Chain A
Amino acid sequence: MKTKSTNYINLEFLSRSANEAFARGAAACFAAQLDPTLEELGDIKTAVSEAVTNAIVHAYPDSLGKIVMKARILDGDVLEITIRDWGRGIPDVDKARQPLYTTGGEERSGMGFTIMESFMDALTVRSGEGKGTRVTMRRRIVPRRVSR
């Protein structure tokens, strides 16, 4: 069943590490309309940073490629963020989601998916070798005001 969104953004950017800060900052600005707490905002920024960094490091290890971030506000004050790349893909998603598993460099800890799972309410990873990866995360922002 298709979920109705009340607002959305689409951002396309190059897989340069300098864009990690841009992506999490943009996601936080978009999420701000749900009036999140600072902790909720920190969680969202962290999860987005992990997903975008994975795309930069693993999808396009030897080249630059396209990353698209889509953020939507769904009914029930739910924020949905999708990070999509068209890179190498993940051969074994279940293995990649294991804590401490990494094929990245020394500056990666292998905790990216674990943090995304812990900091968001739901995480879906779809990937195909040579086709790219789509990471979708959802987080409900608990309303703090009577009316918006």
Chain B
Amino acid sequence: MTGTAAMTAPATPDRDTRAGLRRDARRERAFFLSLSLPALLLVGLCAMLPIFWILRQSVMTLRGEFTLANWEKLLSSALTWKSVWTTVELSGATLVLCMALGIPLALALASAPPKIANRLLILVMLPLWTSILVRTYGWLVLLRRDGLVNQALTGTGIASEPLALVYNFTGTLIGMVHFMLPLFVLPVYAAMRDIDGNAIRAAASMGASLPRTLATVVLPLSAGGIRSGAMIVFIYTLGFFITPAVLGGGQVSPVAIRIEKVMSTFQDWGQASALGVLLLILVAMAAAMLAAARRLIGRKGKTHA
């Protein structure tokens, strides 16, 4: 469309052509914008509105008057800060484990022949097709006191008595890493697969050892994928509820669990809303920090080059 418009525009005054082009470009932008309108509307209605409603509710009494009492109660309670800390701890530990397990896995996938890599990828994806509830209860069966893992450990004499693998932080972490690992591996694998093989060959031909090649070529070139993977893992896990609820046994209470508790035992919607907003702030802060880290690394990358 743009093409024809530009062609039929009078050839001479050059300025008119440019104005026409600009006009067309504007129209095109408006057209594309209108295409995204339904999605924007949906996000506005289903995501933004409820958030505003929660925000409003966090500063309201039951009778609908303005109050800061919910926030005062929340911010002055040691339980809140403990749950914020538990949330960050859980997400951070999940991220570290996902990186430690996921980067080598992605590397192996990326360096395998395409046919094998595809099959392995299906194995990585498989857990994503199972409901989180099923997977979480699956871990319960495996990790409990007379579960398979403990039976194997005590049967082979590695442990003299059953280990406390579930209904605590450890069990929650295992469940969360299991859930998030595929979501971390996929972007990292995509980034590693796109690395130009010549760059690796060049490094090798210049005598770089494998660890050195990894550190100076592969990892920097896949940093984008690792970053998006890390972003997904950290932010996604900040709001995790089912895994700590089932595998934490009441010993692990991140913000999401606190929200449920405040709602179910105190029927205190105002304070639960305030907690929800606090969680949102936490997510926003994490996103901002990751974005800042990205800019910082990006700048460092440029001075290198």
The yes or no verdict on A and B being binding partners is no
Chain B residues within CB distance 8 Å of chain A:
none
Chain A residues within CB distance 8 Å of chain B:
none
